């Protein structure tokens, strides 16, 4: 599963993407955030305030309870500030 990071998430993690084999027990976006943080102190801190984390699963913006089963690409980013 490909994970993308944008804006200050990317900066704090010091990388723009990861490639992970995510176990089936990790079923939704919220659980994926926790799973990424488990073995990665920088990620744990960057993701600390979950209210500030937006997610997209296969190029669709979703809530944190959205299922990641079968997903290819999951992106994490702060609230958007375009326009």
- Summarize as ranges the residues that interact with other proteins (CB under 8 A): 4, 6-8, 10, 56, 59, 61, 75, 77-83
> Could you give the CA distance from residue 34 to residue 48 in angstroms, rounded to a whole number?
9
Cβ proximity to other proteins: between 23 and 82 the closer is 82
Per-residue DSSP letter, 60? -
Least gap, CB of 5 to other proteins (angstroms): 10
Q: How far is the CB of 23 from other proteins (least distance, A)?
A: 26
Rounded to the nearest whole angstrom, what is the least distance from the CB of residue 24 to other proteins in the complex?
26
Distance CA 7, CA 16 (A): 9
Strand 2-5 with 17-19, pairing: antiparallel
């Amino acid at each position: 599963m490909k994970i993308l990071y944008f804006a200050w998430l990317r900066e704090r993690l010091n990388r723009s993407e990861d490639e992970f084999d995510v176990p089936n027990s990790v079923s939704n976006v919220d659980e994926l955030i926790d799973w990424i943080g488990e073995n990665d102190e920088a990620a744990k801190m960057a993701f600390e305030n979950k209210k500030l984390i937006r997610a997209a699963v296969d190029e669709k913006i979703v809530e944190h309870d959205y299922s990641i089963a079968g997903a290819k690409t999951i992106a994490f980013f702060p609230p958007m500030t375009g326009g």
